[in-house]
A and B are shown apart, each in its own frame.
Chain A
Amino acid sequence: MIGADAIIKCLEAEGVTTVFGYPGVAITPFYNSILDSHIRTILIRTEQNAAHAASGVSRLTGKPGVCAVTSGPGATNVITGIATAFADSIPLICITGQVNSELLGSDVFQEADITGAVESFVKYSYLVKDAAEIPRIFKEAFYIANSGRKGPVLIDIPIDVQNAPVTKFKYPEEVALRTYKPTVKGHAVQIKKVISELKKAKRPLICAGGGVLLSEAEGELRAFAERHRIPVVSTMMGIGVMPTDHPLYFRMVGNNGKAYANRAMNESDVLVMVGARVADRAVNQPDLITKDKVLIHMDVDPAEIGKNAGPTIPLVGDAKHIFGDLEKEDFTCSCEEWLETLNTYRRELKRRRSPNPDYVDPAEFIERLTDRMQEDSVYVADVGQNQIWSCGYAKVKERAKFLTSGGMGTMGYSIPAAMGAKIAAPERQVVAVCGDGSFQMSMMELATMRQHDVPVKIVVLKNNYLGMVRQYQHFTYKDNYSVVDLSGSPDLEKLASAYDLPFLRLENMDKCDEVIDAFLKDDASVLMECLIDPMDLV
C-alpha cells in the first residue's frame, strides 16, 4: 500500500461516495488509487467549482463534501470555493496535490504555498510530510470540518508522500486533539436565563441563521416556536428553517429582506439570534438589536457572540442541543397580540411590484416555479439580483432545501452546488436559478452535467446586465453605467444544443405555468431562459 491508497481508505472509512476534482501530475497517485475504489469521481471543469459542488453535497448530506485538485494553479483556483464554504460554515475536505516534498520552497513548476495562501479561509490545514500520518490527519480533518462551527479543512499532500509505502493502515476510531473541544451543550444557567426572559417577553422573536440548518435543528426550532407561539424570521443562510407559508414565519431580514421582517426585529422586546453572525447584510445597524431589548445570542462559535452586537444573554452551544434543552422547560409565553401586529405588518408592508408586462416578472416567476416544484426539491440560488428575488419570492416547502452563497456572495455558485446536491440526492428535484452573469461564470459545467449524467435543471434570468451592480449604479451613480453591460453573451438556445440539452424560453408571463410545467416535467437537465426587463430592480 502507498500513501495514495491510504487516503482512499480514509475516504472510504468516512463514507465518502463522490470526489469532485481536476487532476494534474501532483495528484495523479491519488487519482490512480481511486480507480480501485467505489468512490465516484467527477471531472469538474474548473477547480473553484469542485469546492462548490462539494459544498452542495455537504449541504444535502450533513457530511463534509470532498474535492481533490492538483498543486499550483489547481490549488489556487480552489481558494474561492473554499472561502465561499468558510463564510457559510460549510464543512469541506479539500485535498491538494503538492510538489515533491524535497523540492518544497524552491519554486518549482506548479508549486504554490497553498496552506499559507488559504490560512484565513480554512478552519484548519495540514501539509502531510509522512505517509504514516495520513490516517490520523484524515480522521482529524473530517472531525474538525464537521464539528463545532463547521468549515473547510485543506490537506496538502506532496506527490512523494502519496507514493511512499505505508506498511500498516489503521483508521483511528477517536481523535485526540488537546486544543479543540467545541462546546455544543448550552450552559444550564444561561438556559434558565433565556427561559426567564422569554416568560416576561411581550414581543419575542427568533431570528434563525444558517447555524440552525447546519446543526439540523429545524425540527426542534419549529417545535419550540409552535409550542410557545413565537414568531420566526431568518437570515439569508437561514432560509429553509421553516416552510415559507408557515403562519409563524416572517421570512428574511436585512437590507434585502422583507420590510415586515425588519420591523419585527426592531419592535421585538426579546430577540433570540440563533446560529447567525449578526453580519452586516442581515443586521445593518447592530446597535439597534440591543437597544431597548433583550438580545439572546446563541451560537456554537463563542467568537461570534459579542463580535458585532453585545448580547444580554450569551449562550454558547449547538442549536440542536440548545433547543433540545429548552424543550424540556415548561413555560408559557403570551404573544397573540404581537402575532396579530406582525400579521398586520405582513399585509400592509407587502411590497407591490409594477412589472413590465413585456417581460417575465422574476418575482412572480419564482413564486410560481417554486410552487410547482416537488415537496423535497432543492432550489439553488446564485448571486446577484436573481439571489435577492429568489430569497424574496421562492416558496420553500416543508422538506425542501434552499441553497445559496450568503456570506461570500460568490457568483457562479448555483450550477456546481446544484450538481453536488443532485449527486448526493439523486431522487430529489434540483433547480439552479442564476442570472446571465453568474451563469457565464459556471457554464463550462454543462459539460460535467452531460458527462456524468447529472440531471440538474437550470434557469437563467437574462437581463443582459450585471443587474445588481447596474441597480447600484442606477441609484448611486445616477445611471452612469460602468462595465455592467453583458453584450456578447452566447445564444443560450444554441449553447444548449451544443451540449445536447433541451432548451426552453419564457419571454413574458403569458405561458408561464405551461413552460414551468415543461421545465419540471421529467428528471432531466433543461436549460431555461427567462427574459427579464433589463431595468428591473429588486
Chain B
Amino acid sequence: MKTEAKPSKDKRIYSVLVENRSGVLCKVAGLFSRRCFNIDSLAVGETDDAAVSCMTIVSGGDAHTIEQIEKQLNKKLDVIKVKTFEEQQCITRELMLIKVKYNKNNRREIMEICEIMKSEIVDMSKHFMMIQICDTPERVKLLIDSLQTVSIVEVARTGTLALSKCMENDE
C-alpha cells in the first residue's frame, strides 16, 4: 500500500520462471525500465525443462514498489511463476571471472588473497592472471575490493543466482 509504505529500500530477489521464447527477456527487462524499477542484477538460464527459463532478478524499493514488481511480473503472459525472497530466505551465488595484471612484487599477495577467498587462478600469462570465484554476492564484492590494490584489467560477473533454502515442505 502506497500510503503506508515504509521509506526503507529493501532488497528482494525475484525468481521468475518464464516461457523460454524469443523476446521474453526483453519484455521483462522492458517492464522494469518502463515502470522505473531498478534492476541490480539479472541472470537468465534454462531450467531442467528446456521450455522454461529461470530469471533471477535482484531489485528493491519500498514495500509498494516490491508489491508492484511482483504483480506486474505476474501480469506478463510469458511469466509462469514469480517467487519473491528476502536475501536471508535463499542461498545466493554469483560467479565472477576477474583478470588482473601482476608483477613479481605482488604475485604472492594476489595468491594469498585467492587462497583466503577460496578463489581459483584459472588462467595465466607472463603479466596477467585470471581468477575465478563462485560465492555469495557479498564475498564476490569483497574479492574485488581486496584486489583494488592490484591492477584489475577486466571483470565479468553472472549476476546473482538464487534458490530458496531447502525446506521439508518443498515439492
Give residues in A with beta carbon < 8 Å to B.
115-116, 119-120, 123-124, 127, 144, 177-180, 286-287, 290, 301-303, 306-311
Contacts and interface: CB of A to CB of B under 8 A. Distances in A.
Contacts of B68: 303, 306-307
A306 B4 CA distance: 11
A286 B91 CA distance: 39
B118 interface: no
Contact of A303 (B19, B34, B74, B78): B74
A510 B72 CA distance: 55
B45 interface: no
A302 B78 contact: no
Nearest to A153: B77
Nearest to A149: B75
A179 B21 CA distance: 13
Contact of A301 (B1, B3, B75, B79): B75
A266 to B, nearest CB: 16
Contacts of B79: 179
B2 interface: yes
Contacts of A144: 77
A302 B71 contact: yes
Task: Please provide the 9 A-B residue pairs with the shortest distance between their CB atoms, ordered closest to farther.
Answer: A310-B1, A303-B71, A124-B77, A179-B80, A310-B3, A303-B75, A180-B77, A120-B34, A310-B2
B166 interface: no
Contacts of A286: 2
Interface in B54-93: 64, 67-68, 71-72, 74-75, 77-80
Contacts of A287: 3
Interface residues on B, range: 20 to 34
Nearest to A129: B22
B70 to A, nearest CB: 9
Contact of B2 (A115, A119, A177, A309): A309
7 contacts: A120-B34, A302-B75, A303-B72, A306-B1, A306-B64, A310-B1, A310-B3
Nearest to A287: B3
Contacts of B67: 306
Given A287-B3, A306-B67, A179 B78 contact: yes
Contacts of B27: 119
B77 A177 contact: yes
A310 B75 contact: no
Interface of B: 1-4, 19, 23, 26-27, 30, 34, 64, 67-68, 71-72, 74-75, 77-80
Contacts of A178: 80
Contacts of A177: 77
Contact of B4 (A115, A301, A310): A310
Contacts of A119: 26-27, 30
B2 A306 contact: yes
- Which residue, A124, A127, A306, A308, has most C-beta atoms of chain B within 10 A? A306
A120 B3 contact: no
Contacts of B23: 115-116, 127
B80 A123 contact: no
Given A301-B75, A303-B72, A306-B68, 15 more contacts: A127-B23, A144-B77, A177-B77, A178-B80, A179-B19, A286-B2, A290-B3, A302-B74, A303-B68, A306-B1, A306-B71, A308-B2, A309-B3, A310-B3, A310-B64
A130 to B, nearest CB: 13
Nearest to A120: B34
Contacts of A310: 1-4, 64
A311 B78 CA distance: 28
Nearest to A305: B71
Contact of B30 (A120, A306, A308): A120
Contacts of B1: 306, 310-311
Nearest to B1: A310
A177 B78 CA distance: 10
A178 B2 CA distance: 31
Contacts of B78: 179
A290 B2 CA distance: 10
A309 B34 CA distance: 20
Nearest to A123: B77
Contact of A179 (B4, B30, B64, B77): B77
A119 B34 CA distance: 11
A301 B80 CA distance: 17
A307 B2 CA distance: 7
A124 B68 CA distance: 19
Nearest to B52: A178
A290 B3 CA distance: 8
B95 to A, nearest CB: 29
Contacts of B4: 310
A393 to B, nearest CB: 34
Nearest to A301: B75
Nearest to A310: B1
Nearest to A286: B2
Nearest to A304: B71
Nearest to A178: B80
A138 B80 CA distance: 21
A234 B129 CA distance: 68
Contacts of B72: 303
A116 B22 CA distance: 11
B18 to A, nearest CB: 8
A301 B75 CA distance: 8
A255 B73 CA distance: 31
Contacts of A180: 77
Contacts of A308: 2
Nearest to A290: B3
